[in-house]
Structure 1
């Protein structure tokens, strides 16, 4: 991306609610929101590599090999792949799998391979929901387990305390995070500084570990000596880079530069200092002491006098990491609804000034139930570690597939330049994904089952909507013929009638039923279609298109980005292209409500048709979704076979 393109993206961000601020302020904000997940990894990643489901000996060769693997994983996956490559592929300043998918879909319409790429992007979205269930459970539970090292009496209280924290976290979502969010940055800055100091306390006694960590030969030697065991260990090493995809997904909130600066100059050094400090502490012990200490090296690093306040700080950090994932699930759900992969859900805006501050009750309580089930079922962070990683590595692999399309098709990089870079990314991703697939019997099945269920729901909704539109289009008539027929046979009454239409062609079913049963037409009839563009925001100058038809009929199209709130009355208040200004007290909105009948007509399997019908019945009311005044809405129902 050129400097001018980046500047343009930054201007778009500022224009659509992202406050312009100094680099330092944006960096602190990024540290508080973006790096929570990856920042809490030192609590359990190093431990799980040595003392997890596939333990290895905590001797010098293995410790040096693992530290080198952690460092080069961060460099290849986080730094080179996400920060330097994928973050350049923004959709009008926004990042994330769905934003990237929308960008690719918009630029490659009609290509034969577009459909499989869309399916990959949708599956990445489905995997994110599995990750957003495991991350709060894993992070909060691992942090509260640190209370065992404050006092042995906490042992029986770890699970209840973790459950109470998680219930409280989900319970406050409806209040919004604007006020609490102001504290996220400073708390996480203090947390990362604490990680650095803890690591340096042990590194000063063994500074040579830094060189061993930076030397890739130690990672290669680990594979050379242990082979398959080293490959299996990748399933735990990858826990050190969980949360890397958040850098890309949250790019729209802070911009590329603050995230890049924070990662390279603050977060990455803090994380590596702590990992190396854990390694130095274990190497300074006798073999017997090392075997005992490797079961929880992070909390054993803490000085006795500061153990309680640091454990409290760690718990706060994991709550913040969980909050970021929950907010991400809300944002992703909004995008999926707007792009047509999910039914309408009730979305509440918790801030008058920040457009991104939203709360979706159905997602919030669904996530809470699944998180609590996870904690009660697995009961310890070590058991949960087996389930953690598959969703992340799967999403990372899909991101590489998507960026391949961007490099070769959209940016048109020469193959000699793109293929070596992509080869490195694919080798690393496939290695990590393969190692995590070995954890399926121990708990890795959970995110895969969740991902498959959600993928089925997303694709069923998308396919069902397409089929429903096809069936409804079969029975519609051209607008010109309808106007000539209806104008002469119906009584005209004062006021404006707005008929919501899912497509910009044909006659809406609500209009057909109204003329059939009521035999009246308003003086002004608006056929209104809300079109969601495959970009995050639409310029105000391109928001409204109005086409006069005849006999007082107009066709209006309102365009929104997939991150914008669809407030129809607010948009209509600015329209002066379709006759006199709209007066809501003189305007009636007519909505169609379809009841689906499953049939054997080719399209979808009967069970999927029934699932789609269930989703349609439970979708949020269009009146609430489009912010229509409740006392000005008329719903007309019809039955549709698919």
Structure 2
């Protein structure tokens, strides 16, 4: 019994260390720029003792209320079979509203908007994190200033370039490096607090309220800067499936939160002692001899922070693909053991292009801070709205209790959002434009797929009457097995009708395969396939996946042997339909959106590679569909 407890504790500690490396990179690198932006940003606040203590108080309580209480204590309870993140939250909320179409539509729109905001945030995070780390070189000597942007771009290119090799080998180092980083944050902060312990008074929330009341004109600007301290909170929830709730909570309360608070209070103590240090308080915390090693460590830490964001973008995109929000695209697996380690070339290089444009366009972390925050706070507000539905329905709290709790969080987050709206002219427009663009793409794809399915369904024949007609007037049957992919398990695939019409034959065995994606992360292998034997040697196979499963039709069909339906791949042909879409005026969707959907449809990845079907066994038959 004692050994079992010790083993459990050791495993928990190991997972907490791993979580330290993946989950906390983003929020852990916020000290590089958060305090600097308050007193030396584009909209600096007057540097007085009252303002320093007031800002620190707001930082402290933002971390307690938004991160500790909302995310670590409450939101992480909203897991979909152990998985977290915006897509898991959408799935939970949709499941509870399945009998109410109007509520489903509202949840869907809010959820897609949250996912769209995630991409806006994902573009700004690597740019501001790496740039703020490399800017530490200017503290060593101003002669490095012309090299800051080129070095930043080289570091970022290297980071995106190695994505195709996977994070498994580099990931082993993430935990120890971030442990060193947080230890450094704590020691630097503690060293400066000891010189001015008076700064610890800022833990009293009265200082924060007095600061806001005394600076009514600057209050919103101040709140817009405070939000920089909580960026990365979404990662705690999004990566819950990798590590579990307890290791993430353990790492936060025992190590990350104390280290962050010590560092922020240390920066405040330094600024009170030497106001000139406010130009870059983080690097000025260190003695002169330690600045260069600190720049190197900070660059490593920001690279790790970016890795978490990039991996998150891959994961969210694949989940969105499974749930039908984005077109199919190439997914490469970078690990034979870990299913979640994937690489999407299109997403990777699209992100790098956007990040490079941000670095070249904004040129400094101060300017980028203006672009940062609005996507993060928008995402937080959406998470709170969806979590209210989950708390009321899934947790059975009832609406009054759920609304009461999350209204408290929403008041803080809407204040942050309002504050960040002021940043729109200075750069906040960028993540908003990205968010709106992704939102339009996602909603257009979802609506277009529904429209296409309705068109195909309207023209389709019912499967069982069709089989009866085959029995009455049988065509020539040829040896082998024909597999037809079909979205509607009760309809006749267009590819089958075309094959019968043009080739005048049917195979000896005809298998209708329908793939269904459920709003759960994974479907157990035992529930993967359903096999129904029909007349005339027809079979209906329903293959079931969760939104984090990796679709593999040949592997799924091999499971049919347990139900008396075995496959010899060399004698099996897969028939796929390839639709050519034609837009029309007066459709249920705007003409420009029809054109956009057709462009997305034309450039979507093939079903062959997505479902891992051997390309030499595929026959494609085309049809025209007027939308």
Same fold (TM over 0.5): yes
**Over aligned residues, Cα RMSD in angstroms?**
1.3
Gaps of 5+ in 2: 1-7
**Alignment counterpart, residue 333 of structure 1, candidates 311, 317, 322:** 317
Q: 572-581 or 122-131: which moved more?
A: 572-581
Match of 2:572 in 1: 587
Q: Deviations over 1:559-595 (max 9, x none)?
A: 0111011011111112125644111111110001111
Q: Report whether the alignment pairs 1:240 with 2:229.
A: yes
> Is the contact between residue 546 and residue 577 of structure 1 (CA under 8 Å) also seen in structure 2?
no
Q: Is the 8 A contact 1:554 1:578 kept in 2?
A: no
1:269 equivalent in structure 2: 258
Equivalent runs, 1:285-324 vs 2, <5 Å = 285=274, 290=275, 292-324=276-308
Aligned with residue 540 of structure 1, among 525, 547, 571:
525
2:84 aligned partner: 95
DSSP 3-state at the match of 1:506:
coil
Per the alignment, in what secondary structure is the counterpart of residue 559 of structure 1?
Answer: strand
Find 1:397's aligned residue among 381, 392, 403.
Answer: 381
Q: Contact 1:278 / 1:298 at 8 angstroms: preserved in 2? A: yes
Where 1:91 maps in the other structure, the secondary structure is coil
User: Which aligned runs of 4 or more in structure 1 are off by greater than 3 angstroms?
Assistant: 414-417, 577-580
Distance 1:253 1:386 in 2: 32
Q: Which residue of structure 2 lines up, in the alignment, with residue 173 of structure 1? A: 163
Tell me the distance in 2 between the aligned counterparts of 1:369 and 1:552.
53
TM-fit CA distance, 1:152: 2.6
590, 598, 604: which one aligns with 1:619: 604
SS of equivalent to 1:575? helix
Q: What is the CA distance between 1:383 and its match in structure 2? A: 0.5
1:24-423 equivalent positions in 2, closer than 5 A: 24-111=13-100, 112-210=102-200, 212-285=201-274, 290=275, 292-415=276-399, 417-423=401-407
Secondary structure class of the residue paired with 1:634: strand
1:601 positional shift: 4.2
The aligned residue for residue 461 of structure 1 is: 445
- How much has 1:24 moved relative to structure 2? 1.0
Once the two structures are TM-superposed, the CA of residue 258 in structure 1 deviates from its matched residue by: 0.5
The reply on whether 1:450 has 2:439 as its aligned counterpart is no
1:514 pairs with 476, 495, 499, which one? 499
Q: Secondary structure at the match of 1:22?
A: helix
The answer to whether the Cα contact below 8 Å between 2:96 and 2:393 also exists between their aligned partners in 1 is no
In the alignment, is the contact (CA less than 8 A) between 1:536 and 1:563 conserved in 2?
A: yes
TM-aligned CA distance change 1:414 to 1:490, over 3 Å: closer
Cα distance between partner residues in 2 of 1:601 and 1:544: 40
C-alpha distance in structure 2 between counterparts of 1:563 and 1:262, whole Å? 25
Greater CA drift, 197-206 or 451-460: 197-206
Superposed CA deviations along residues 320-346 of structure 1, whole A, max 9, x for unmatched, are 000110010000000000000001000
Match of 1:523 in 2: 508
| 8 A Cα contact 2:329 2:344, kept in partner | yes
C-alpha contact (below 8 Å) 1:543/1:558 kept by paired residues: yes
Q: Secondary structure at the match of 2:14?
A: helix
Structure 1 pair 414/604, CA: closer, same or farther in 2 (3 Å)?
closer
Q: Could you tell me which residue of structure 2 aligns to residue 565 of structure 1?
A: 550
* C-alpha separation in 1, matches of 2:565 and 2:283: 69
Q: Using the alignment, how far apart are the partners of 2:187 and 2:89 within structure 1?
A: 38
Name structure 1 gaps, 5 residues minimum: 1-18
Give the Cα separation in 2 of the matches to 1:580 and 1:104.
37
Give the C-alpha shift of residue 173 in structure 1: 0.7
Q: Please give the per-residue CA displacement for 1:353-409, whole angstroms capped at 9, x wherever unaligned.
A: 000010000001101111101100001111000000000000000000001111222
CA–CA distance in structure 1, aligned partners of residues 128 and 148 of structure 2: 13
Determine helix, strand or coil for the equivalent of 1:596. strand
Residues 311 and 499 (structure 1), Cα distance of their counterparts in 2 relative to 1, 3 Å cut? same
Name which of structure 1's ranges 199-208 and 438-447 shifts more when overlaid on structure 2. 199-208
Distance apart, 1:484 and its partner CA: 2.5
Cα offset, 1:155, TM superposition: 1.1
Q: For 1:496, which of 458, 464, 481 is the aligned residue?
A: 481
Counterpart-to-counterpart distance in 2, 1:165 and 1:42: 20
Separation in 1, partners of 2:79, 2:239:
11
Instruction: Report if aligned partners of 1:548, 1:578 keep a CA contact under 8 Å in 2.
Output: no
Range with greater deviation from structure 2 (579-588 or 238-247): 579-588
For residue 434 of structure 1, the aligned residue among 413, 418, 425 is: 418
TM-score normalised by structure 2 residue count: 0.97
Displacement, 1:519?
Answer: 1.2
1:466-481 matches, cutoff 5 A: 466-481=450-465
Separation (CA, whole Å) in 2 of partners of 1:393 and 1:584: 51
TM-score normalized with structure 1 length: 0.95
Q: Which residue is equivalent to 1:12?
A: none
Distance between the aligned counterparts of 2:141 and 2:43, measured in 1?
29
Task: State the SS of the aligned residue for 2:84.
Answer: coil
SS at match of 2:540: strand
CA apart distance, 1:412: 2.4
Whole-angstrom CA distance in 2 between matches of 1:131 and 1:145: 21
Count residues in correspondence.
618
* SS in structure 1 of the partner of residue 371 of structure 2: coil
SS in 2 for 1:84: helix
* Structure 1 contact 343–616 (Cα < 8 Å) conserved: yes
